Amino acid sequence: MLSKTAEYALRAVACIGSKANRPISANLLAEQTKVPRRYLTRVLQDLCKSGLVQSRPGPGGGYELTYALSKLTILDVINTVEPIARIKRCPLGLKSHTDLCPLHAELDKAYEAMEKAFASVTIQDLVESASPIIPLCEGASL
Contact by Cβ (8 Å): 55, 63: yes
Identify the pLDDT of residue 137: 56
Identify the pLDDT of residue 60: 82
Measure the CA–CA gap between 39 and 18, rounded to whole angstroms: 21
Q: DSSP 3-state assignment of 55?
A: strand
User: What confidence tens digit (pLDDT) does each residue in 114-135 have?
Assistant: 999 999 999 999 988 877 776 6
User: Which of 10-19, 33-42, 93-102 has the weakest average pLDDT?
Assistant: 93-102
Kindly give the residue spans of alpha helices, DSSP state H, lying in the chain: 4-17, 26-33, 37-50, 74-81, 102-119, 123-127
User: Which of 5-9, 53-57, 85-89 has the weakest average pLDDT?
Assistant: 85-89
The residues, ordered by sequence, that sit 6+ positions from 48 with a Cβ below 8 Å of its Cβ are 54, 55, 63
Kindly list the structural domains of the chain, giving each domain's residue range(s) and its CATH number in brackets, ordered by start. Answer: 4-127 (1.10.10.10)
Contact by Cβ (8 Å): 112, 60: no
Averaged pLDDT for residues 33-56: 95
Host H or E run for residue 54? strand 53-56
Is the pLDDT at 138 greater than 90? The verdict is no
Contact by Cβ (8 Å): 56, 64: yes
Q: What percentage of the chain exceeds 90 in pLDDT?
A: 64
Q: For residue 50, which of 7, 111, 9 has the smallest C-alpha distance?
A: 9
Measure the CA–CA gap between 111 and 125, rounded to whole angstroms: 22
